[in-house]
Amino acid sequence: MKKEASYRPKRVSQLIQQEISQYLINELPEMTGFLTVTGVEMPADLRTARISVSVLQKDKRQSVLKLLERNASHFRRLLASRLNLRYNPELIFILDTSVDQEEKIDRLLELVKKNEPVSKS
């Protein structure tokens, strides 16, 4: 029974990610070039969904996040109409900054490569 309990939040989070991503592609195509839903985390009770979004343009991150937060109730209604869930989860949008971390690591690795002596093998 425990295996089933851990599967349900994963499945529901995948469905929420698909629905929100599809909505953004269809209804807000001007945002899809720089906005990506990177993941959804849900607790076992399925009452909240932490939606991670990645925004490529750094100067637009806060404004896009505020726009998503303002439209959270619209997204909740959309999910309620498309998904058959006992509870309509509260949606919490957070910025995914993993792309920034990857860029930072790449820059550091390039610096290390430039400063390495050439091997004579």
Select the more confidently predicted residue: 106 or 74.
Answer: 74
pLDDT of residue 116: 66
pLDDT of residue 118: 53
pLDDT of residue 103: 80
Sequence-separated (6 or more) residues with CB below 8 Å from residue 13: 39, 40, 41, 42, 49
pLDDT of residue 17: 94
What confidence category does residue 3 fall into, taking pLDDT thresholds of 50, 70 and 90?
Answer: low
What confidence category does residue 1 fall into, taking pLDDT thresholds of 50, 70 and 90?
Answer: very low
Query: For the purposes of burial, counting CB atoms within 10 Å of the CB of 67, is it exposed (0-12), middle (13-18) or buried (19 or more)?
Result: middle
- CATH for 2-96? 3.30.300.20
pTM for the model stands at 0.77
Is residue 49 over pLDDT 90?
yes
pLDDT of residue 117: 61
Is residue 6 over pLDDT 90?
no
Please tell me the distance from the alpha carbon of residue 91 to that of residue 103, in angstroms, as a whole number: 28
User: Strand pairing partners for 36?
Assistant: 54
Is residue 13 over pLDDT 80?
yes
Is residue 92 over pLDDT 60?
yes
